[in-house]
Chain A
Amino acid sequence: MAVKNYIKELRKARGIKQLQMAEDLQVTRQTLTAIENNKYNPSLELALKIVQYFNCPIEEIFILEMEE
């Protein structure tokens, strides 16, 4: 099982720059890139911060993908 996210799509849809979002969430740009590319799973605290940032339900941002 792997956690996937739609942060990149949501961010682009809202026209937010990656650096701007990194500054708002107080993470490095590299970390945001790693999260967007599903290379790093954020902590619960950061995940909830992201949810609050986009102001939409958590299941619209993070999904648990079942392995076949």
Chain B
Amino acid sequence: MKKKRIKWNMTFQAICILLGAIVGLSIIYIVNGDFNFSVLLGFTVGAILLITMNIVKVRIKKDTTPDVDERTMNHMLKYFTILSYSFSGLLIIGLFIATLNGIEHISISLLWILLLVFLSLSGFGAFIVSRK
């Protein structure tokens, strides 16, 4: 039963993402009185992609071996540790250079970009490392 549930993990994640988006957009609607359908469309497309990937994966895979085991977990843990330290190091160097250049203010969008770069690197890297 547990194995069957694990197989459909991505579908579960997609549903949770979609529900989260709906709840978030509803809160914004209650506060601002504006429901952003374009954001919902983006989340829906993402969820559909995830569900499709899950269906394809389940249909292709014939054996019952797990996708992740202790070795892949160790690899991912090592990758996340190296990535976190490297990213922190780069941020400190960047901060140091910015301080030396007399920069005292940075825009929030730059922080968002940095965060998204970190999350993307974590996600793609973990995916590649788990296939090793």
Interface residues, chain A, with chain B CB atoms under 8 Å away: 19, 22-23, 26-31, 34, 40, 42-43, 45-46
Contact = CB atoms under 8 A, between A and B. Distances in A.
Interface string B46-68: 00000000000000000111111
Contact of B65 (A23, A40, A45, A46): A23
A29 B65 contact: yes
Q: Which of B64, B67, B70 has the most CB of A within 10 A?
A: B70
A42 B72 CA distance: 12
Contacts of A42: 70
B64 A28 contact: no
B79 to A, nearest CB: 16
B71 A40 contact: yes
Interface in B61-115: 63-72
Given A27-B65, A28-B68, 17 more contacts: A19-B65, A22-B65, A23-B64, A26-B65, A26-B66, A27-B70, A27-B71, A28-B65, A28-B66, A28-B67, A29-B65, A30-B132, A31-B69, A31-B71, A34-B71, A42-B70, A46-B70
